[in-house]
Each structure stands twice: as structure tokens, then as C-alpha cells.
Amino acid sequence: MIHGKLKEAGIGVFTVGGAIRDGLLGLPVTDRDWVVTGATPEIMATLGFKQVGRAFPVFLHPVSGEEYALARKELKTGPGYRGFSVAFSPDVTLDEDLYRRDLTVNAMAMDAEGRIIDPYSGRLDLERRLLRHVSSAFGEDPLRVLRVARFQAHLHHLGFTIDRDTLDLMSRMARGGELETISAERIWRETERALNTRHPEVYFHILQQCHALEVLFPELAQLIDQTQPVKYHPEGDAWQHTLEVLAQASRMSADPLVRFAALTHDLGKGETPKNQLPHHHGHDHHGVRRIEEMAQRLGIPGRFRYLAMQTARFHMVIHKLPELRPKTILKILESMHAFHETESLDRLLIVCQADRWRRTGTHVTREEAQALLHACLEAAQSCDISLLRDQGLSGPALGKALLQKRTQAIKKTLISFLPERTMECLLAS
């Protein structure tokens, strides 16, 4: 009904952007963006639209809540992704609005009759599976480097590649200092969205290719050329290993927390001096600190930070689970807050399984590790603290006694799960 009123007022209404792209590709369309031509803020308000945004008028549909933007043009006025002035008026055409968009495959529109408006050959680029910038205006917005990397991660499984000229332009932008103007909030927002794509490893690979990784994620860039023992890592340096672990973890889980932990699990290897390569002694502990530093710089939410830091801390010992002492297992359970929830522990085990993907030798599977740790947790939880209080214990003495009881309970569980372990090993707890 409202679209009809807009049409009666001589206003054009078009679906634009990703909804057209994904619809033509047969992908699910979850969000729709709209552009209106020939309108003013006053006309939109009289039809019940609610205006939001300050830089330019965007309106919320009174029923669906979807965003409708007035057709606009942009003029570069300063550095960075915020250095633009926006011009909107009823005279701005749809082609002019589409011209300012990043990629040709995002610069298509559809009218009310379902006709595709495609002034910049986006449909042909979809057929060619090509991500190509619309115009030289692409280089005025540094955020587009991250967006193109994210689109490539989103469409990689369909065989898309980035146009050579577009990738070269992205490299010039990265080397020209424009990326340094992007706020930490926007960097993380694009990265979190990339972690939710089918191939998040592609996002980081593209950033490396166009020299943006060293600007935006220097901790990750420092993994490049950090060699590893071929016996355990036939895939190459620590960066290649990281990308493969991220890819494998993404096949196992769609959880972005798991994927971020996979991305950062070996971050400490970037700190290893060249004269110590290919070995990385203490990289687990170094990694905890480096993740904290990166998280603070980019404002990464605590739930991502927590799992990533614990994964860096424990992934090495999880690989040696059958050899661990009862006290070490209890420490893992406590640090992972497993006595309150087990989701974090299970996420950790997914990353550890991905980390072992191409390793040689015999290792416990994720299912075996999960069964063992959950059994140890159940045993430790069965220790009744009220019985200790009835014995008159309190304070540090109560804590010490509970630790002993939980350790003994875990020890019995290990014996039942791992009968080949010697009593001498178990008693050394």
C-alpha cells in the first residue's frame, strides 16, 4: 500500500545491493535495502516513514521497519571513510546513486515489476564470478578493502575471484596509509561479519594479499615466515598453519567464537626470535598476552577474548590429555568455567581438533577428549562440599580439602578411562 502511495507521488522505489546479488545467485536473502528517487524528507515523513541517521536521510518503513534511503551522491572532502559530504535531492538519479557503490555486483537494482537495472554490468560480473570495483571512487573509502575481502569470503565457495585491477587498487590504498583512518569499531565489525561467512580464512588471506593485514592485524602478519617443525607441521609456516586451522574449524563449527579462537590460537609464535626457529617454546603463554593486546586495541568483545585466550593457553596441553596429571585437568576445568557451563570447554576442544588436523602421530579425538573431560568434571562435581563443612572446615582449609577430594575423584576417573597409565604417573599429582 505504501509503495503504491510512493508511486502515485511520482517516487521511484527500488531494491538495491546485496539482496539483488544474492537473489540472482540463488543464495538466501535475509535483508533488503531500498532506494527511493524523486523524494524529499518531507514527503517520506508524510507517508509515515521515520527518519534515522544524521549524515543523510534514511527512513524506516512504518510496517516492515526496513531501511529506505534517498538516492544520493557523495563527494570526497577529507581523509578516511568518514571524509565525505553527501548530496541528496529529488534530482539525483538511480544510476548516480549506484555509481557510488563499491562493486558492480552490488550496484544493481530492481524495480516494482521485477526488472533489473544494471548500469555497470554487475550481472555479467556475477556470471564471470568476478568482484570488480565500479569506479575510481572506490579508492576514496578505505573501509571497502575490508568489505571486498568479506565479500570474497562470502562468495568463495561459488568460485568468485577479485578482479586484478581491484586488488591492485586495494593494495595501493593499504600502502597509502588510508586504512589507518578506519576506527577499531569498524575493523572489528567487518571482521566479525567475515567470521560468520562460509570461508573466513579467505578474508584474512585477501587482507594479506593486498598488504592490509600488516596494517590492521600486525599480530597475525608476524606469523608469516615463522617456520615450524616439519614433523608436526607439513603445511608450512605459522601463518599458513593458522589459515588451515581456521578453515578446518569453520568446517566443524559455524560459531564465530570458535573461529576467532582458531585464528589466534598460535598468535604467540609471531614473537619467536628468528634464531630459535623452527621451534616455538612458550608460544602458548606469549599468545595469551598478544591476544589481550589485540583485543584491547580493536575493542573485541569479552566473549571472543576469553575463549581465544584460554585456547592459546591450553591447546598444547589438550594435545597431551592422556598424559596430564589430575591437578592439571582440574585446572583446565576451573579455568574454562566448566563447573558452571561446558560450552566453552567444548568450543576449546573443537579448535584443538582442528589444530591436530594435519599432524602426524596418534592423538585423542575430540569425542574421546570430550568424554574424558566431561567424566572428570562429573567426578569432581560429585564431591560434596557440605560434608567438608560438617567436619568444621572453612576458609583456606576448606578450599584445600575440596581440591584434594576433586583431584582424587579425577584420578579415579583417569584410571578407569586410561587403564594403561601407571599408578606412579597418577600418584605424581
What tens digit of pLDDT does each residue of 190-230 get? 999 999 999 999 999 999 999 999 999 999 999 999 988 87
CA dihedral 72, 77, 81, 82 (to 10 degrees): -80
Indicate the range of 234-238, 332-336, 337-341, 356-360 predicted with least confidence: 356-360
Tally of CA atoms within 13 A in the half-sphere of 425 that contains its CB: 13
The model's pTM: 0.89
- What distance in Å separates the CA atoms of residue 133 and residue 174, rounded to the nearest whole number? 16
Indicate if the pLDDT at residue 321 is higher than 90.
no
> Residue 198: is it exposed, middle or buried by C-beta count within 10 angstroms (0-12/13-18/19+)?
middle
Between residues 322 and 252, which one has the greater pLDDT?
Answer: 252
| pLDDT value of position 423 | 47
* Percentage above 70 pLDDT, the chain: 90
Residue corresponding to grid cell 597418577? 426
What tens digit of pLDDT does each residue of 45-66 get? 888 899 886 666 789 998 888 8
- What distance in Å separates the CA atoms of residue 194 and residue 196, rounded to the nearest whole number? 5
The conformation of residue 115, written as its DSSP 8-state character, comes to P
At residue 117, the 3 state secondary structure works out as strand
> Residue 55: is it exposed, middle or buried by C-beta count within 10 angstroms (0-12/13-18/19+)?
exposed
Question: How far out from the chain centre does Cα 206 lie?
Answer: 14
Per-residue confidence at 422, pLDDT binned at 50, 70, 90? very low
- Please state at what angle helix 343-355 crosses helix 238-252, rounded to 10 degrees: 130
- What distance in Å separates the CA atoms of residue 46 and residue 44, rounded to the nearest whole number? 6
Is the separation of the CB atoms in 131 and 166 below 8 Å? Answer: yes
Per-residue confidence at 320, pLDDT binned at 50, 70, 90? confident
Is the separation of the CB atoms in 335 and 379 below 8 Å? Answer: no
- What distance in Å separates the CA atoms of residue 370 and residue 355, rounded to the nearest whole number? 16
User: What cell does 280 get?
Assistant: 616455538
What tens digit of pLDDT does each residue of 78-106 get? 666 665 666 778 889 999 999 989 999 99
Beta bridge partners of 131: 162
| pLDDT value of position 78 | 64
Q: How many CB atoms lie within 10 A of CB 416?
A: 9
Distances (CA, A) of 59 to 4, 6, 367, 401: 17, 13, 50, 63
In order of their start, the domains of the chain are 1-120 (3.30.460.10)
- What distance in Å separates the CA atoms of residue 39 and residue 43, rounded to the nearest whole number? 6
Q: Which of 315, 298, 300 is nearest to 218 (CA)?
A: 298
- Helices then strands, each counted (H, E), the chain: 21, 11
